[in-house]
Amino acid sequence: MSSRVYEPTDENQLSYAILWSPLPPITWLIPFIGHMGIATSRGVACDFQGPYTVGERGRMAFGKPTRALRIDTTLLPGGAEQWDKAITEANTEYRTRMHNLCCDNCHSHVAYALNSMEISAYGIRNWDMVKLCFLVFFKGRFLSAGGIAAQFLPFGVLVMIVVLVKTL
């Protein structure tokens, strides 16, 4: 786990965003699977990091986010207060849960927060981990060129090795 705190700058504000970072070695094999968190209205990352553990001080379990997907909150009743309240509720709930890689994980934590605030975005009203996975994969923006490399370079190298071995 990374001990570095991610503090967004004015030019890279992550408030009201779903955050994503690679999850080695899983992302190396399946590039659309990674670690997910959600940022408060002030841009502070919150994520379900493991059994009974939620990070809510800007530190994501696997380092700085490499992708972000902003959620339009203009139609959210209660605005920033409702957004932050739902994230706090999700954090409180997930401190009581055992982490399960396939069924109750960081994606589920984000879905819980979004469902609690009853927000509709990108044509989705009922959030779940599968919808979030593919939504961030196809719509999330990369925060740097390094983020693109972290997500796809290991997979590309593995594919090239397989192709080279098969051709020999």
Sign of the alpha-carbon dihedral angle for 18, 55, 35, 61: positive
On the CB side of 93, CA atoms within 13 Å amount to 16
The answer to whether the CB of 63 falls within 8 A of the CB of 2 is yes
Where residue 101 falls among pLDDT bands split at 50, 70, 90? confident
Q: Determine the pLDDT at residue 75.
A: 85
Q: How many helical (H) and strand (E) elements, i.e. helices and strands, does the chain have?
A: 5, 6
**Whole-prediction pTM value?**
0.89
DSSP per position, 101-134: TTTBSHHHHHHHHHHHTT--BTTBSS--HHHHHH
In whole angstroms, give the CA distance from residue 3 to residue 77: 35
Render pLDDT for 117-147 as a digit per residue (tens, 0 to 9). 999 999 999 999 999 999 999 999 999 999 9
Render pLDDT for 36-95 as a digit per residue (tens, 0 to 9). 999 999 999 999 999 999 999 888 999 999 999 999 999 899 999 999 999 999 999 999
